[in-house]
Amino acid sequence: MSTTVDTSFAPVTFSEGAAKELYKLKDQQEIGEDYGLRVGVEGGGCAGMNYILGFDQRKDGDQEYFIEGIKVFMNKAHQMYLMGMMIDWQDGLNSRGFTFVNPNATSTCGCGTSFSA
């Protein structure tokens, strides 16, 4: 069973640009209200762990947060890797996409989508 948690205790934050882009993606892809943004980690990548970021349905073991008005699902076990992380959106000539500013990462890869803790 999932648990809804107060936003003030959410383990991650979104920059204003990331929140705007997430709202835009949700509208463009016509994502239903039963979906939320999954934020997590998985083994792999050149630095050892990859970030997970995508719209998904709730799963067993998920906690639910509302961050900047966006429903977010996160497996409780992933919080120790993501606590305090800020998700940003870059839209420049050299970089376009979501970036992860993770204070728990001891190293990151060049593309910024994997890290080690």
Instruction: For 77-94, write each residue's pLDDT tens digit.
Output: 999 889 999 999 998 777
Give yes or no for a contact between 85 and 100, defined as CB atoms under 8 angstroms apart: yes
CA atoms within 13 A on the CB side of 68: 17
Q: How far, rounded to the nearest angstrom, does the alpha carbon of residue 77 sit from its chain's CA centroid?
A: 14
In this structure, the chain runs to a length of 117
Alpha carbon distance 105, 116 (integer Å):
6
Alpha carbon distance 102, 90 (integer Å):
16
Give yes or no for a contact between 63 and 5, defined as CB atoms under 8 angstroms apart: yes
Task: Tell me the CATH number of domain 13-101, given options 2.60.300.12, 2.60.40.10, 2.170.8.10, 1.10.1040.50.
Answer: 2.60.300.12
For 20-37, write each residue's pLDDT tens digit. 999 999 999 999 999 999
E strand or H helix at 17, and its extent? helix 16-28
Q: Which residues pair with 35 in a beta bridge?
A: 57
pTM: predicted TM-score of the whole model, two decimal places: 0.82
Q: What is the mean pLDDT of the chain?
A: 85
